[in-house]
Amino acid sequence: MSWGRVIAVLRKEFVQLRRDRLTFAMMIGVPIMQLVLFGFAINGDPRQLPTAVVAADNGPLVRAVVRAAENTGYFKIVAQVTETEAERLVAGGKVQFVLAFGSDFSRRVLRGEHPAVAVYADATDPAATGPAVAALQALPSVALAHDLQGALAPLRGGGAPFELRIHRRYNPEGITAYNVVPGLMGVILTMTLVMMTAMAMTRERERGTLENLLATPVRPLEMMVGKILPYVFIGYVQVLVVFTAARLLFGVPMAGSFALLSAAVLLFIVATLAVGFTFSTIARTQMQSMQMTMFYFLPNILLSGFMFPFRGMPGWAQAIGELLPLTHFVRIVRGIMLKGVGWHDVGADAGAIAVFTAVVVTISMLRYRQTID
């Protein structure tokens, strides 16, 4: 064995690595991204969850209970609405909780009748609501401790002055599969379609057939559509497999419109394939395409709300998550399947995916023209 020849090969590998700057960047960038996301962005105990209050009785006792809920750190009162508006806010995912007080709450407390406060929780993600619901258990015994003083002190002797009735909406049993399986549609599409599309152009480049394509009169948009259309069919097959398994194996309900779900799936597939096509115009080898796919997939799965509660992340992580199409698609799928929402509830998320698609398609067209030049 000659150490001189070993060193020569070693030098050759370092030179090749230096020339492949994209691979080197991925080797450094992926660990840094994992450290930042897992260290700062991921939080399994979400706080300051948006909460609406329904209170026809707005007396001091009601305000004391609301203030005590806020003091737990898990609830952030964002609106005081009617019951109809509260239903709409919960269904649309705008609030996580609703505290509903009866019109005679204060009077019944003063009479010692122990009235009930209804708590409606959006339980589509049990991990997001579990700690907050647990914090509510102590609320009846401490919320009015400072208000029931003096002549009202005997009201505390017969137990808690009021009770909580918690209604877990859309997933009352807290079944994890109801939350995870619908989101898997987007995760699987992101992981597979981006990679397959990203490798399409790089495969042509490696085989030497890209020059033949560039010599044809096919325009960039026509090239892109022709490349991604076969994968639209593949994407629908994957969604059908996941949907069938969700219904038959895991018993996930389908409360909404299948036609609306199909339209949302098509929009997300196009967005995902556009990302893959853009990567294919940047990468020079299939290995680079796979590396870029993983670099894109990692923040999608961690910041979309699929694995970890979205509202538990800091503001900067939520801002990044809002830019990713998987975040909006997960909301749409869970909303349609578990809540039965309509187009007016998912329109904002669908619009965000459409804007993302338009931006990515524009970038890919510019990159493709540079390839032609």
Q: By percentage, how much of the chain surpasses pLDDT 90? A: 39
Backbone torsions φ then ψ of 256, nearest 5 degrees: -105, -160
Q: pLDDT tens digits, residue range 300-354?
A: 999 998 988 888 888 899 999 999 999 999 999 999 999 999 888 899 999 999 9
Q: Of 35, 56, 64, which Cα lies nearest the Cα of 104? A: 56
203 and 159, same domain (yes or no):
no
Residue 205 has pLDDT above 80, yes or no: no
Residue 292 CB partners (closer than 8 Å, separation 6+): 22, 26, 198, 279, 282, 283
68 and 210, same domain (yes or no):
no
pLDDT for res 214: 65
165 and 116, same domain (yes or no):
yes
Question: CA 201, CA 209: separation in Å to the nearest integer?
Answer: 9
Q: Is 204 exposed, middle or buried (0-12, 13-18, 19+ CB in 10 A)?
A: middle
- Pair 305, 321: CB distance under 8 Å: yes
What does the mean pLDDT of the chain come to? 86
Q: Of 282, 295, 301, 124, which Cα lies nearest the Cα of 205? A: 282
112 and 184, same domain (yes or no):
no
191 and 144, same domain (yes or no):
no
Q: Which of 149, 169, 189 is the last residue of a domain?
A: 169
Q: pLDDT tens digits, residue range 279-313?
A: 888 887 788 888 888 889 989 999 998 988 888 88
In-domain check, residue 336: yes
pLDDT for res 211: 62
User: In this structure, what CATH number is given to the domain that contains residue 60?
Assistant: 3.40.1710.10
* Range(s) of the domain holding residue 78: 49-169
Domain count, the chain: 2
In-domain check, residue 229: yes
Question: CA 214, CA 47: separation in Å to the nearest integer?
Answer: 54
Better-scored residue on pLDDT, 220 or 342: 342
190 and 83, same domain (yes or no):
no
3-state secondary structure of 47: coil
User: b/e per residue, 74-91, with b = 16+ CB within 10 A?
Assistant: bbbbbeebeeebbbbbbb
Angle at 75 between CA 72 and CA 77, to 5 degrees: 125
Mean local confidence (pLDDT), 44-72:
90
Q: Which of 137, 169, 201 is the last residue of a domain?
A: 169
Residue 94 CB partners (closer than 8 Å, separation 6+): 50
78 and 164, same domain (yes or no):
yes
185 and 318, same domain (yes or no):
yes
Residue 81 has pLDDT above 80, yes or no: yes
275 and 336, same domain (yes or no):
yes
Q: pLDDT tens digits, residue range 91-146?
A: 888 999 999 998 888 888 888 888 899 999 999 888 888 889 988 888 888 888 77
Q: Which of 135, 169, 203 is the last residue of a domain?
A: 169
User: Which token pair is 86?
Assistant: 């509260």
In-domain check, residue 25: no
3-state secondary structure of 53: strand
In-domain check, residue 4: no
In-domain check, residue 280: yes
Measured CA to CA in angstroms, residue 181 lies from 193, 217, 252 at distances of 18, 44, 8
Task: Record the pTM.
Answer: 0.85
Q: pLDDT tens digits, residue range 2-42?
A: 888 888 888 887 787 777 776 777 777 778 877 887 787 77
In-domain check, residue 85: yes
179 and 159, same domain (yes or no):
no
223 and 100, same domain (yes or no):
no
Tell me which H or E stretch contains 180.
helix 176-207
214 and 329, same domain (yes or no):
yes
